[in-house]
Structure 1
Amino acid sequence: MSKFSIDKNFQGEGPLLTKAQINLQDAFLNQIRKENISVTIFLVNGFQLKGMVRGFDNFTVLLESDGKQMMVYKHAISTVSPTRQVNASFVDQKAT
């Protein structure tokens, strides 16, 4: 079983995320932010946004592009694609 498996005990319409999954998302976004890695964010409607992640919370990502800031709701994001490799050393630390 993967360390990042979905919790099979759920209520409502979908499974609950495990703490490791939540931390992986936060750690990935934080690493991109700290390393100033530019990203392309693909939205569920097909739009692409390019810029730098300046911050995030449980529901939004703050993206800066050409000196302007955009707040993007996470439920509208399908993929975050960094322009270069992200240092993934946070994976082992968060998964334990």
Structure 2
Amino acid sequence: MSRIEDDVQTSFLNDLLGDREIVWIFLVNGIKLTGYLEAFDQYVVSLQSPTGTQAVFKSAISTVCRPHTTPNKTTDERSSTVRIERPARRHVAISR
């Protein structure tokens, strides 16, 4: 990892550490962890969750972010979409 990338990562994690807000950590296998960032070093992030403290290897982390929500659009706010009818599928028998 280059020095510039390390500075960006360290700065971001320090901000999350100082804020003491809940964070989401998404792992490369798709699992989402939720908790408070307690500490981090070059290889590991320590996450405090209701089930206890978890040490998560940085190599297993895909994304770290603050929790967020997306507003649900009502029917009136959705853009109108044009529905395109597809032609019926033809089944072709293949002889061998």
TM range (shorter): 0.5 to 0.7
Deviation at 1:29, TM superposition (A): 0.5
Q: Write the letter of the residue equivalent to 2:32.
A: Q
Query: Which entry has the higher C-alpha Rg, 1 or 2?
Result: 2
RMSD: 1.3
**TM-score (normalizing by structure 2):** 0.66
Query: 2:12 maps to which residue?
Result: 28
The superposition leaves residues 42-87 of structure 1 with CA deviations (integer Å, 9 ceiling, x where unpaired) of: 0001111000100000000000001610000000000001126xxx
Which structure shows the higher helix fraction? 1
Paired-residue identity, %: 37
**TM-score (normalizing by structure 1):** 0.66
How many residues align structurally? Answer: 68
Give the structure, 1 or 2, with the largest relative contact order (CA under 8 Å, sep 6 or more): 1
Runs of 4+ with >2 A deviation: none
5+ residue gaps, structure 2: 69-96
